[in-house]
A and B are shown apart, each in its own frame.
Chain A
């Protein structure tokens, strides 16, 4: 059973703090990892992806991947109230047909609340 696990939260942080969101996955063959943000009643929007071990930074966001531990995380620095949303971790299990990424397996999401 391929699974992606996230703490459902809610995770509450004060404005300006660092929010740390975590995700574990079960399939060691997983190749690419994505973080999506979803506001209530809206569709998911991509924040960033990572596929190599280590850190990847994009503005206030840093994704961290540790394939040995099957763990991926998202750090949000200087959290703002506008960051309050559900954060979805998604994992690509590989390229079954030699073309695009096939399907994504999503976790249930972590709800983040940033308090002013």
Chain B
């Protein structure tokens, strides 16, 4: 596909459960980002990968959140012991990874997570 894809599009889970959200970036993009967006707010940065490594994970709210990108392409965001406050739209973005201020991020459609 031409754009960033995310699965599932919707996820409903119960408090305390574990969830995995998947992101497939634009082909050839080395940089991948996870954000979450709550209603009425702008996206909030979670983590940024350059290749396989997490270059900046300063936005992860606590140790229940973890993300991997083992082969430098697909990434999975993992949330343990979900809480109702985790309910949000989780957005993934990718960019070419080139140095410079014009390295723009392209967003996927998001995964809407609802924790009951």
Chain A residues engaging chain B, CB cutoff 8 angstroms: 4, 8, 31-32, 34, 36, 42-46, 49, 51, 88, 90, 92, 95-109
Contact = CB atoms under 8 A, between A and B. Distances in A.
Nearest to A45: B107
Contacts, number: 80
A105 to B, nearest CB: 7
Contacts of A42: 109
B116 interface: no
Given A34-B104, A99-B99, 11 more contacts: A32-B101, A43-B91, A43-B107, A96-B56, A99-B50, A100-B95, A103-B33, A103-B48, A103-B59, A107-B42, A108-B41
A46 B59 CA distance: 22
B98 interface: yes
B43 A44 contact: yes
A106 B101 contact: no
23 contacts: A4-B42, A8-B40, A43-B109, A44-B91, A44-B107, A46-B104, A46-B105, A97-B50, A98-B99, A99-B50, A100-B30, A100-B50, A100-B97, A100-B98, A101-B31, A101-B95, A101-B101, A101-B105, A102-B48, A103-B33, A103-B58, A108-B41, A108-B42
